[in-house]
């Protein structure tokens, strides 16, 4: 029984971690689902499938890759030194026919679909539920749901589940409450950083009447502008700034730490387009609590703005787990409520002779 419980814990934990990482990074990790009918009947739209991230696939294998900024699951039709030629089982033409798309490089493949006897290992239509949930919630909220549900699953023993139907008490154990509370703490930590993200915007006009009003500039000219970034929180944040488009260049450092209730000036250089009209520019702002080394945060950010959150999750989980084992408790009931049948229910039983 111990082995089965450990196996169950491992499987749930693995699913939990990969689900959170997948939703945060917005990429499939170990599991995904078919977004369209292009692989019918092998994979119907909404079918959930499993991914082997250690395999890049070969001819006739089904692989997962990104094409036209969308995650795609198609079969390898052929390959050469340039990469894979891919095709959906339900499509007439390959993805690369008439140079519609470039060949898929091996580095762009994130894994091969797990198959048994040549057929994908799948859960029919399970992806539809994930899709419906993602329409109603942001990726972060979905990750929080997985985090809390996973914590409850991981702290419920097999024996307790078997006796669930015979219980006369509602019991909440310390380890369950601790896991849920810890999950919420981590979720709030990540959410507080996400809420600090935003954009700095400004507008200007490309016009031959340059100089007659503030913000009017000659077509083809350049100008410099100062923007103010404020940290209204009481604690410091490490900020990364990133210009949208190629008309704006950030001068100076693109990352800096701002103490609580302080501000920082950002200087930008703008290349005014030749077309005469009003233009709007945006500077993306990403904020992180400096609880990881700045160098580590910078490296993670360069891979993906969401990747530092995975590191925060791992670090927080590690220290919370250490604290849990240091306390040395877990199976004690901290809430115990006895269930009583109502008088109405008892009278109903008597009336039917039960």
pLDDT digit string, tens, across residues 4-42: 555 655 565 566 566 655 655 567 878 888 989 999 999
Residue 348 lies in a domain: no
**What are the backbone dihedrals phi and psi of residue 52, each rounded to the nearest 5 degrees, phi first?**
-95, 105
Please give the average per-residue pLDDT across 81-110, as a whole number: 90
Whether residues 215 and 293 share a domain: the answer is yes
Whether residues 121 and 198 share a domain: the answer is no
Residue 35 lies in a domain: yes
pLDDT at position 240 over 90: yes
Comparing 178 with 332, the larger pLDDT belongs to 178
* pLDDT recorded at residue 13: 57
Residue 147 lies in a domain: no
Please give the average per-residue pLDDT across 68-89, as a whole number: 91
Residue 114 lies in a domain: yes
Residue 103 lies in a domain: yes
Residue 78 lies in a domain: yes
Domain range for residue 78?
Answer: 26-128
Whether residues 123 and 200 share a domain: the answer is no
Q: pLDDT class for 198, splitting at 50, 70, 90?
A: confident
> Residue 273 maps to which CATH number?
2.60.40
Domain count, the chain: 2
* Most confident among 17-21, 137-141, 255-259 (mean pLDDT): 255-259
Domain boundary among 104, 128, 152: 128
Whether residues 122 and 201 share a domain: the answer is no
Whether residues 119 and 219 share a domain: the answer is no
Please give the average per-residue pLDDT across 88-100, as a whole number: 91
Residue 249 lies in a domain: yes
> Residue 116 maps to which CATH number?
2.10.109.10
What pTM was estimated for this model as a whole?
A: 0.48
Domain boundary among 99, 128, 157: 128
* pLDDT recorded at residue 245: 83
Domain boundary among 262, 282, 304: 304
Q: pLDDT class for 162, splitting at 50, 70, 90?
A: very low
Residue 5 lies in a domain: no
Whether residues 108 and 201 share a domain: the answer is no
Comparing 22 with 75, the larger pLDDT belongs to 75
pLDDT at position 319 over 50: yes
């Amino acid at each position: 029984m111990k082995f089965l419980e450990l196996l169950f814990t491992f499987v749930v934990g693995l699913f939990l971690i990969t689900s959170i990482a997948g939703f945060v990074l917005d990429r499939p990790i170990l599991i995904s689902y078919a977004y369209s009918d292009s692989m019918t009947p092998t994979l119907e739209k909404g079918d959930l499938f499993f991914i082997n991230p250690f395999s890049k696939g070969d001819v006739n294998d089904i692989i997962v890759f990104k094409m036209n900024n969308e995650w795609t699951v198609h079969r390898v039709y052929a390959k050469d030194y340039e990469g894979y030629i891919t095709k959906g089982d339900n499509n007439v033409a390959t993805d690369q026919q008439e140079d519609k798309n470039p060949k898929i490089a091996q580095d762009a493949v994130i894994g091969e679909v797990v198959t048994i006897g040549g057929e994908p290992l799948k859960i029919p239509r399970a992806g539809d539920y994930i899709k419906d949930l993602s329409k109603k919630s942001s990726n972060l909220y979905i990750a929080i749901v997985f985090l809390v549900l996973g914590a409850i699953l991981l702290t419920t023993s097999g024996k307790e589940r078997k006796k669930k139907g015979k219980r006369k008490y509602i019991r909440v154990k310390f380890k369950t409450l601790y896991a849920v509370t810890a999950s919420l703490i981590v979720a709030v930590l990540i959410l507080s950083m996400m809420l600090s993200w935003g954009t700095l915007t400004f507008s200007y006009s490309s016009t031959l009447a340059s100089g007659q009003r503030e913000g009017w500039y000659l077509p083809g000219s350049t100008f410099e502008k100062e923007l103010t970034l404020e940290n209204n929180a009481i604690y410091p944040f490490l900020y990364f700034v990133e210009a949208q488009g190629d008309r704006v260049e950030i001068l100076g450092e693109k990352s800096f730490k701002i103490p609580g209730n302080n501000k920082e000036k950002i200087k930008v250089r703008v290349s005014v387009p030749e077309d005469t009209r009003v233009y709007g520019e945006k500077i993306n702002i990403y904020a992180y609590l400096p609880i990881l080394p700045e160098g580590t945060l910078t490296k993670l950010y360069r891979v993906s703005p969401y990747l530092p959150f995975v590191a925060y999750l791992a670090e927080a989980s590690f220290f919370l787990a250490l604290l849990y084992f240091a306390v040395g408790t877990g199976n004690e009931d901290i809430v115990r409520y006895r269930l009583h049948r109502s008088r109405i229910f008892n009278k109903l039983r008597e009336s039917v002779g039960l």
